Amino acid sequence: MTLRLHRSRRLGNILDGIGNTPLLRLKKVASHVPDVEVFVKLEFMNPGGSVKDRPALRMVQDAIGDGRFTTDKVLIDATSGNTGVAYSMIGAAMGYKVQLVLPKNASQARKNITQAYGAELIYSSPMEGSDGAIRLVRKIVAENPDRYFYPDQYRNPSNPLAHYHGTGREILEAVGDKITHFVAALGTSGTAMGTTRRLHQHTRKIHCVAAEPAEAMHGLEGLKHMASSIVPDIYDANTPDEILPISTDAGWDMSERVAEEEGLFIGHSGGANIAAALILAERAQKEDGGGCVVTVACDRGDRYFDPVRWEKKYKW
């Protein structure tokens, strides 16, 4: 066994730890496609614990840079949880006040983490999912616009730009010309849009797929079934090469499977991503005789301890 030693990074502050997450090859759950490499980018290794650290930081930095966000304003946004954790961490590190609007049935872990950073929580209807949080935050900001900086992660072009300059670039640096497929599930759609645009500019063709919940009433927290949701302004249905429906059961079952077989404890959106990646790997094995599929583990599974099985049927 060869040991590779790497010099530890020294960080000026916690925000310097965002990005440059590792890729993990999945060997056991992908053992039936031996000629296809399946990699998952471990975004839970960002300091805030999720992929949302990337766009949250980019949106805040861009707004500070152009004067939209000043110290006298409160950052407020709608979130299903992970972006809220990222905002809360960034606010604490940079000295800004943060208010978050989220569905009342968002996982208790996310509520606890955001409050630990000092964020104030405002709850929207549990039955309206992320769309209810969006409607409520827009109402709050409209009533007092001078008080708030509202990044609006669903409309903000800095969201996909974080992945264009970060996630997509890092994937190419890690696997280069080897990659044949990429897949990411749709929430705000920032990960799928930004990463896909970067990968489509590569010198070889990379088939980029957007996965989405197969059902309007689903239990994949943070993801959007676009046909029945408020469609984010940053989403462009023409950007991905394919839209791939993934059921709630497939996402939940895969998150449990990779924990048991790979020692990888991730959330259900990451489970949906890996389920989609295996579908693409099976296709590549059959049609092309091999390939390399990359996807994203959005967050850790410990943020989902509280939901019980019947919550799989919620519309988040």
What digits encode the pLDDT tens for the residues 181-227?
999 999 999 999 999 999 999 999 999 999 999 999 898 988 999 99
pTM (2 decimals)?
0.92
Backbone dihedral angles phi then psi of residue 256, each to the nearest 5 degrees: -70, -40
Q: Is the pLDDT of residue 118 over 70?
A: yes
Per-residue pLDDT of 224-242, as tens digits, reads: 999 999 899 999 999 999 9
Backbone dihedral angles phi then psi of residue 88, each to the nearest 5 degrees: -65, -45
Q: How confident is the model at residue 293 (pLDDT cuts 50, 70, 90)?
A: very high
Closest to 269 measured CA to CA, from 203, 192, 194, 198? 192
Q: How confident is the model at residue 284 (pLDDT cuts 50, 70, 90)?
A: very high
Q: How many angstroms separate the CA atoms of 186 and 166, rounded? A: 18
Structure tokens at 173: 């640096």
Q: Is the pLDDT of residue 48 over 50?
A: yes
Which residue segments constitute the domains of the chain, with CATH numbers given?
A: 14-50+157-313 (3.40.50.1100), 53-149 (3.40.50.1100)
More confident: 304 or 126: 126
- Per DSSP, which regions of the chain are E strands? 23-25, 36-42, 74-78, 98-103, 120-124, 148-149, 181-185, 207-213, 242-246, 291-297
* Average per-residue pLDDT for the chain: 92
CA-based R_g, the chain, Å:
19
Angle (CA) 142-225-243 rounded to 5° is 125
